[in-house]
Amino acid sequence: MKIDILSIFPEYFSPLDLSLIGRARSAGLLRVDVHDLRRWTHDVHRTVDDTPYGGGPGMVMRPEPWGEALDSLVSDDSVLVVPSPAGEPFTQAVAGELARASHMVFACGRYEGIDQRVIDHFSGREISLGDYVLFGGEVAVLAIVEAVARLIPGVLGNADSLVEESHTDGLLEAPVYTKPASWRAHEVPEILRSGDHGRIARWRRDRSLERTARRRPDLLDPDALSPRDLAALTE
């Protein structure tokens, strides 16, 4: 996958050199290019913003630098993502959809956001990281790139990690433990040390259902649950 990121703060993206994303880039599974939007300005101050039509506080990002930048980066195969608190919520399902793209372009807004005509002209997909407001799109893009990149085949060392994760099957994952078996008088559940894979799988499923019902009941879809799952929930 190829990713182009446009921002007035390209330095924000140095974490993409690290850890598994950095390794995926070195291995050629992922190519990421970060561009300074001001490259596409033509005045001495390298201006990217102006006052909003209709009045109101703050500044809006002007369409011309965005238009020139996106003309040079977006093609028919590209998916343009524009982070916005007014966008569709970012979920694991959206990450899965984006992971199928061969080329993604991210347009990081600042101030009060990007002139809407840019987003409409280039058919940008507005995506929200959550119901709160950040200073700019950079942190949202880091989160989206990380969630998408780990779904690209070969990026995660162990692809099985993806199978049982929170949100993959619509539920939150069961709690996890490692050695030692006893730590500060807290014990690892005995069943996880039993070696009985069938009982462990059932225990994990039950904890997963229980946790989801308690913390995120909005995620539970009774039609997607087996009679055994429904019984576990009412126990």
Position of minimal CB gap to ligand SAM: 109
| Cβ-based nearer residue to ligand SAM, 80 or 171 | 80
Residue 109 among known ligand-binding residues:
yes
* Alpha helix stretches (DSSP H) within 83-226: 92-98, 116-121, 138-149, 197-215
Residue 134 among known ligand-binding residues:
yes
Using CA atoms, how far apart are residues 120 and 42, in angstroms rounded to an integer? 23
The CB-of-118 to ligand SAM minimum distance in angstroms stands at: 11
The CB-of-10 to ligand SAM minimum distance in angstroms stands at: 15
| Cβ-based nearer residue to ligand SAM, 47 or 128 | 128
| Cβ-based nearer residue to ligand SAM, 53 or 132 | 132
- Binding residues (CB under 6 A) for ligand SAM: these are 83-86, 108-110, 112-113, 128-130, 132-137, 140
The CB-of-107 to ligand SAM minimum distance in angstroms stands at: 8
The Cβ-side half-sphere exposure at 82, using a 13 Å CA radius, reads: 23
Q: Which residue has the tokens 């009045």?
A: 55
The CB-of-125 to ligand SAM minimum distance in angstroms stands at: 12
C-alpha distances (whole Å) from 99 to each of 23, 104, 123, 191 are 17, 9, 18, 36
| Cβ-based nearer residue to ligand SAM, 36 or 229 | 36
Residue 133 among known ligand-binding residues:
yes
| Cβ-based nearer residue to ligand SAM, 56 or 217 | 56
Phi, psi at 184, each rounded to 5°: 50, 45
Phi, psi at 179, each rounded to 5°: -70, 150
Of 17, 147, 159, residue with least CA distance to 83? 147
Residue 131 among known ligand-binding residues:
yes
Using CA atoms, how far apart are residues 92 and 184, in angstroms rounded to an integer? 35
Residue 130 among known ligand-binding residues:
yes
Per the structure block, which two tokens stand in for 203? Answer: 């225990």
The CB-of-58 to ligand SAM minimum distance in angstroms stands at: 7
Residue 129 among known ligand-binding residues:
yes
Binding residues are 109, 129-134
Binding residues for S-adenosyl-L-methionine are 109, 129-134
